[in-house]
Structure formats: structure tokens, C-alpha cells
């Protein structure tokens, strides 16, 4: 299990806290930045981590900003990425089971550090259910590929 982490300045502290949690659990990760609270542009950092996940270099991405919204929009522009903003444990579980999400996005001003750790644990340990959800996820890929769903 190897994770791609990224955040903008608005979630620098949340990312550092998640790193501490992953260190304690012995889970491997790469930190794609940013590396301080200096103001940066969130699409760059979301792109760095999401494109590494899309290339298959990492199992999952954990990408944060102040709200979780901007980074999710950026990550979802990367082909092959299904990024979900999660604000509670149920969402972290269901987006894996139903959407086969490969990136979890969170907002530093939205979730506590403790909740973020729990959501990461749930997200990376929950399997995709497949079945009828596979058909739906395949439709997401069709949309990404410009297929006209009619
Ligand atoms: C940065 O100020 C803020 O816009 C960013 O962290 C994020 O919340 C955007 O969606």
C-alpha cells in the first residue's frame, strides 16, 4: 500500500497530521507538497498527486485544501481519477464500495484531524463492491472518453 499525498497551503497542517498518522501505522506515502503555509495554487498539487495515482504509481491519493472542493475538481480532471470529497466516515466507505474512488479529498476547515485519520483508514481498507457498481463506474469512464451516453 502506497499513498500519494498533497495539499495546498490551506491544508498544510492537515496533511502533516495525516502523515504522522500514516507514519505511526507504517503506511508508505509520498508527499507531493506543498511544503509550507506559503500561498500556492491548489490545482498544481492536486495534479501532482492525482497524476501519479492515475499512472499506477500509488494505490490511492489523499488530497486536501481548505474545503476539499478545489482539489477534488482538479483531481477529477485527470484521466482515470475518481476523486471524492468526504466529510464523514460513511462517505469514505461508500465512495470506495460504490464509486471505486481512488482519491479522497478533505478540507482542513471542514474535518477534524481525528476524523481525517479515520476516513483515510476506512478509505484505503474498503474494497470496491463491483457488480452493478462496475457498470456505473464504467459509464464514468465512458463520459471521460467522450462517449455520448444518449
Ligand atoms: C485557498 O485559499 C482555497 O481556495 C483552497 O484551499 C481551496 O479550499 C479551494 O477550493
Q: What is the pLDDT of residues 104-150, one digit of tens each?
A: 999 999 999 999 999 999 999 999 999 999 999 999 999 999 999 99
Residue 65 a catalytic site member: yes
Residue 150 lies in a domain: no
Task: Give the number of other CB atoms < 10 A from CB of residue 105.
Answer: 30
Domain ranges, residue 35: 2-144
Question: What is the three-class DSSP state of 29?
Answer: strand
List pLDDT tens digits, range 79-106.
999 999 999 999 999 999 999 999 999 9
User: Checking phi first, is residue 120 left (phi over 0); if not, alpha (psi -120 to 50) or beta?
Assistant: alpha
Pocket of ligand 1 (CB under 6 A): 8, 10, 42, 65-67, 69-70
Q: How many domains does the chain have?
A: 1
Task: Give the per-residue pLDDT at 18.
Answer: 98
- Ligand 1 center from residue 14 Cα (angstroms): 13
- Ligand 1 center from residue 109 Cα (angstroms): 10
User: What's the whole-number mean pLDDT along residues 13-39?
Assistant: 98
DSSP 128: P
Residue 112 lies in a domain: yes
Residue 23 lies in a domain: yes
Minimal CA–CA distance to 120: which of 92, 84, 98? 92
Residue 98 a catalytic site member: yes
Residue 149 lies in a domain: no
User: What's the whole-number mean pLDDT along residues 46-61?
Assistant: 98
CATH, residue 62: 3.40.1400.10
C-beta of residue 78 within 8 angstroms of C-beta of residue 34: no
Amino acid at each position: 500500500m502506497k499513498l500519494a499525498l498533497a495539499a495546498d497551503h490551506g491544508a498544510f497542517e492537515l496533511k502533516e497530521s495525516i502523515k504522522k498518522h500514516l507514519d505511526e501505522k507504517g503506511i508508505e506515502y509520498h508527499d507531493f507538497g506543498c511544503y509550507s503555509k506559503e500561498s500556492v495554487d491548489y490545482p498544481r498539487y492536486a495534479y501532482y498527486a492525482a497524476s501519479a495515482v492515475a499512472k499506477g504509481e500509488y494505490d490511492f491519493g489523499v488530497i486536501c485544501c481548505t474545503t476539499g472542493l478545489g482539489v477534488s475538481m482538479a483531481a477529477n480532471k485527470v484521466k482515470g481519477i475518481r476523486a471524492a470529497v468526504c466529510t464523514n466516515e460513511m462517505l469514505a466507505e461508500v465512495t470506495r464500495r460504490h464509486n471505486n474512488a481512488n482519491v479522497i479529498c478533505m478540507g482542513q476547515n471542514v474535518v477534524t484531524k481525528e476524523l481525517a485519520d479515520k476516513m483515510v483508514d476506512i478509505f484505503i481498507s474498503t474494497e470496491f463492491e463491483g457488480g452493478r457498481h462496475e457498470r456505473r463506474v464504467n459509464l464514468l469512464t465512458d463520459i471521460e472518453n467522450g462517449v455520448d451516453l444518449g
